[in-house]
Homo-oligomer: A and B are copies of this chain.
């Protein structure tokens, strides 16, 4: 496989091979894992975003924040950041957009006047309910390449990876 014949996926093999030759001290299989993880996730996200969310005028991050509020109810911005995995700044900026578009409402917290309490508006509730069916159709399409057992194994192994201690987390 020369450099001219590569495509998106065979690039991973080439990278592993090439690195094994030039930097023998590295762990090529760890590299293959992270490279593959990144590429697959990127594919899935691009597909979901471009097929499901952008045509409706929203972003994937916007959907994630709406979904977080839909699942766990109204909450402070800080907590929405924790549960959704975004930074507080990202939530702040995103809520600016979603609030402007009438999907999320901000109310001052009663107990702590620094805090902002986020909740779905009726339009937000409506939006997430209808969008989620399409979103999940797409999730099902992706998951459909795997048998139930393979899917469960994949979830379990991803969970094991995600349980890694001693790594940097968003604050």
Interface residues on A, range: 35 or more
- Evaluate whether A169 and B46 lie within 8 angstroms (CB atoms) in the complex, with A26-B132, A161-B145 already known: yes
With a cutoff of 8 Å between Cβ atoms, the chain B residues found around residue A56 in the complex are none
Q: Is A37 an interface residue (CB 8 A)?
A: yes
Q: Is the CB of A3 within 8 A of B72?
A: yes
Q: Is the CB of A161 within 8 A of B132?
A: no
Encoded as 1 (CB less than 8 Å from any B CB) or 0, chain A from 142 to 171 comes to 111110101111110111111110111110
Encoded as 1 (CB less than 8 Å from any B CB) or 0, chain A from 28 to 49 comes to 0111111011111111111110
Q: Is the CB of B40 within 8 A of A37?
A: yes
Q: Is the CB of B82 within 8 A of A8?
A: yes
Q: Is the CB of B169 within 8 A of A33?
A: no
List 5 tightest A-B contacts by C-beta distance, closest first. A30-B143, A41-B41, A40-B162, A30-B139, A26-B136
